[in-house]
Amino acid sequence: DCLIGMGATLLDNCTLGPRTMVGAGALVTYSKAFLDGGLLVGSPAILKGPLTAKHIAMIDASWPLYIGYAAPFRNGEVITIG
């Protein structure tokens, strides 16, 4: 139940709780734990606040899309997104 933004970096031994959104380009540092979820931003990442209903809807809607995007690549196909 997490969404990791593009270009975000999660270093070794970090822990994310359920319903965590990591902003694009954020850096979750070594052994850092965010167990209660929320919106993480920055470098190093800090907890900006709890997720809103909009954030949770984004997580729920996005993961099936990424599954669909990956399937053609496994078969060596080239796809256009957009």
Q: What is the pLDDT of residues 17-69, one digit of tens each?
A: 999 999 999 999 999 999 998 999 999 999 999 999 999 999 999 888 888 88
pLDDT at 61: 92
Residue 66 vs residue 81, higher pLDDT: 66
Scanning 1-82, the segments in alpha helix (DSSP H) are 53-74
Record the pTM: 0.81
- Residue 37: how many CA atoms within 13 Å on its side-chain side? 14
pLDDT exceeds cutoff 80 at 79: no
